[in-house]
Amino acid sequence: MNVPNRQLLDLKAMAFQVSPAPQVITGNRLILELNSAFENLFGYNRDELLGELLLKLYPSRADFKTIGDRSLSWLRHAENGAYSDERFMQHQSGEVFWATANGFTLTPDDPFRLMVWHFERLNRAFRPSVNLTPREREISAHIVNGLTCKEIARKLDISHRTVEVHRGRLMKKLQSKNSAELVSKIIILK
């Protein structure tokens, strides 16, 4: 069967949109196109993401930069133009989740110029080696989502000093030297 070029292009565009695999096309880490499964995975509608940096889907700027540097370095030396890793991503609701990311560059000389990415949520059960109290778990969930001690205190209707004490205990239990390390270790516990 010989399909006219225009009809073939329409079929390819439709296949991309209805694919069950969450996919996004990026240009220099800006979202150029995405499919419905990608909208569902991250909880945004298409118009909220088009033209936005992928940063919008990361838990922090630090993660966006670190993962970007690592993947760019890999892609510059990859013979097949492919990159894959597991990372934390963030849903529109603020929920942070573990995901696998697979990217393919269409411009090997300048890898980020044009890429296709596929993301999948991983439902991994982490077995914490540290036992947290119910209150520490409650406070840690707010810490991960970027709330300050005062904001957490207001939400939980407790003193901000109490939150600071629990945060200090979390730092000690999780052997964290700074806030970024604390957040990373809390996320792994979830």
CATH number at residue 13: 3.30.450.20
pLDDT in tens, 93-147: 988 887 899 999 999 999 999 999 999 998 754 444 578 888 888 888 888 877 8
Range of the domain at 111: 5-121
Flag whether 129 is in a domain.
Answer: no
Domain assignment of residue 128, yes or no: no
Cα→Cα distances 179→55, 159, 168, 174, Å: 19, 20, 11, 11
Q: Are residues 111 and 155 in the same domain?
A: no
Q: What is the pLDDT of residues 45-89, one digit of tens each?
A: 999 999 999 999 998 888 899 889 989 999 998 889 999 988 889
Please tell me whether the overall predicted TM-score, pTM, comes out greater than 0.75 for this model: no
The verdict on 77 and 151 lying in the same domain is no
Cα distance between residue 17 and residue 126, in whole Å? 33
> Where among 121, 146, 161 does a domain terminate?
121
pLDDT of the residue at 126: 42
